[in-house]
Amino acid sequence: MTGEERQRDPPAAHQPLPWQGDAWLHLDRQIASARLPHALLFAGPEYTGKAHLALCLARRLLCREPSGGLPCEGCHACDLSASGGHGDMRWVQPEEKSRVIKVDQIRDMVDFSQKTAGLGKRKVAVLAPADSMNANAANALLKLLEEPAADTYLILVCHRLHGLPATIRSRCQMLRLPVPAPEESRRWLDRLTGSPEESAQLLSLARGLPLLAEQFYRAGEGAERTTLHQALHTGFLGEGAIPEVAGRFSGMAAGEVLAHMAAALEDLVRALDRGQLATPQCRGIFRLLDEIARLQQAVFAGANPNPQLLTEGLLAKSRRVLGDARLGDNMR
């Protein structure tokens, strides 16, 4: 699994991202009025900055001298949290080479919550992503949510709400963080690329997800991914032998193949006009995207399908779906 919330260390952050202003204002008002819940759930798609916002909030809660609703970045607490060495903060995520947050990690967090804050009056724990907890870990967390410590704040970052038990969701105040508007994401990316055209292309490759587009840019993967998506587009529409097209993705993990397939299909859908969106072929594309989403969930849960066979099978299905030449011609 890759993603904004899967890094081995907390992301660098001291202020919210541009599209998180309303959410941040809401949280800041709750802090100012002493009404911030002890359990928060940040829900939304990956690569939209949920972990970033969680870390901003954690650092704001631990800061000794917040300024303008933000951590001051100058006090001892801010120095420690920025370096990852603040004793009153825990960042809980899947361990190296693991896909899940395990029960022992939650038990350690429970022990942490029961101790007295060492540097201030608050402690903060972030679970990112919380929907990666296994069943035993979720049960251990539930006990903590049922009897929260007065000085401890829990922030759960969640990509898939259905991956969290309803008993946990109901005990948290949920803050939904949707994909930002394309223009807002593009302006944010422009500060990196210096080119609105390149920013727009990266966002298209990243399916509108700004932090994924940033990741592509920093890794220099934009041109390579464009080539791969073009290969998929032609493969979808019946050009080239399926094994040959699938061979372009050899060496990739199944999850990465599925991400490419989903992005390329979504590109095709965006190219359709309103009349084409109502065709049986387009409805078939949506069913195929649903199937890819289910496969992604299975991979997330530990399934390990053969990437070559997976790619060939999905290409064959796409060709059956797009078998009507009139629709295919309009997509070229």
Mean pLDDT value across residues 230-256? 79
What rounded mean pLDDT belongs to the chain? Answer: 85
Q: Which domains does the chain possess? A: 18-176 (3.40.50.300), 221-331 (1.20.272)
The predicted structure's pLDDT at residue 137:
95
Q: Which of 111-125, 270-284, 291-305, 310-324 has the lowest mean pLDDT?
A: 270-284
- Three-state secondary structure of 116-130: CCCCCCCEEEEECCH
Dist CA 178 CA 17 (whole Å):
13
Amino acid making up residue 52: H
Burial class (CB in 10 A: 0-12, 13-18, 19+), 149: middle
Burial class (CB in 10 A: 0-12, 13-18, 19+), 181: exposed
Closest CA to 151 of 5, 19, 34: 34
Max mean pLDDT range (31-40, 215-224, 271-280): 31-40
Closest CA to 12 of 86, 83, 72, 71: 83
The predicted structure's pLDDT at residue 323:
66
In tens, the pLDDT along 304-324 reads 888 888 888 988 888 888 764
The predicted structure's pLDDT at residue 225:
67
Closest CA to 233 of 327, 330, 331, 321: 331
The predicted structure's pLDDT at residue 60:
95
Q: Is residue 3 predicted with pLDDT exceeding 60?
A: no
Dist CA 265 CA 287 (whole Å):
11
* 96: helix, strand or coil: coil
The predicted structure's pLDDT at residue 332:
44
In tens, the pLDDT along 198-240 reads 899 888 878 889 998 898 888 776 666 667 767 777 777 677 7
Q: Token pair of 103, please?
A: 């029960």
Share of the chain above pLDDT 90, in %: 45
